[in-house]
Amino acid sequence: MPRPLISLGRALQRPHPRVLGIDDGPFRREMVRAPLAAVLVSLPRRIEAVGRSFVRVDGTDATDRILGLIRSTASVGDLRALLLDGPLVGGFNVVDLDRLAEELRLPVVTVARHRPDLRRIREVLHQNFPEDADARWRLLTRHPPRPWGRGPKPLWGSVVGADRREAARLLDRAAVDGRWPEPLRLAHLVARAGFPRAGRRSDPGS
């Protein structure tokens, strides 16, 4: 049965819809955790809240961590959409987009600068996660990426819980300089700076 869509039409009529961007930060493979950041933006660029957390590198806790981060950062009732820099965080920790949309009752939109190499991703999953590679792959490809807009170098991604045309309009509203959404640009900056050093795999507190 098709999931009912959440209309973005009313949000797009507002002068400053509130959108939450989430992105991870840099990490090394020997680390247990990767930084995760959320930035609430009243479009186009007014920052209203910032949150920080961690996600296990190559783990399976991405969705739980993101849900916790959102609820500690902003009132979900004030949000109009959630933006993610792709469906992977902390390496190959796959986000369940359907669960986010259902539990938050928000449209979830993923954006990537380039078309993902799904064939290569599948190879890496089977090489490094033989026990649950198929489960990760099914979750990752449940909503295949499509181009946002036209032209020789479009952004890529998917939307869950809303009409794709309305989501594309929202992305246009969220872009301040160039095509990249401002909430994601800010979330990436926060994820890169100001965090304590992520623990190594021998860290007993991780």
In a domain, 198, yes or no: no
pLDDT range class, residue 53, cuts 50, 70, 90: very high
In the structure, what pLDDT confidence band is assigned to residue 198 with cuts at 50, 70 and 90?
very low
Give a yes or no: residue 201 inside a domain.
no
Number of folded domains that form the chain: 1
Cβ-contact 8, 170 below 8 angstroms: yes
Domain that holds residue 59: 9-192
Higher-confidence residue: 15 or 163?
A: 163
φ and ψ of 100, to 5 deg: -60, -50
What integer pLDDT is reported at residue 4 of this predicted model? 56
Model pLDDT, residue 197: 53
Q: Binning pLDDT at 50, 70 and 90, where does residue 199 land?
A: very low
Nearest to 54 by CA among 188, 184, 191: 191
Domain CATH number, residue 61: 3.30.2170.10
Does 202 reside within a domain?
no
Residue 4 lies in a domain: no
Flag whether 205 is in a domain.
no
| Each residue's pLDDT tens digit, 99-138 | 999 999 999 999 999 999 999 999 999 999 999 999 999 9
Task: Label the pairing between strands 108-110 and 81-84.
Answer: parallel
- pTM score, whole prediction: 0.89
> Residue 197 falls within a domain, yes or no?
no
Residue of 96, 85, 84 whose CA lies nearest to 140: 96
In a domain, 92, yes or no: yes
Give the chain's end-to-end CA distance (angstroms, integer).
40
Q: Report the alpha-carbon distance of residue 93 to residue 63 in Å, rounded.
A: 9
Judge whether 200 lies within some domain.
Answer: no
pLDDT digits (tens, 9 = 90+) for 55-106: 999 999 999 999 999 999 988 888 999 999 999 999 999 999 999 999 999 9
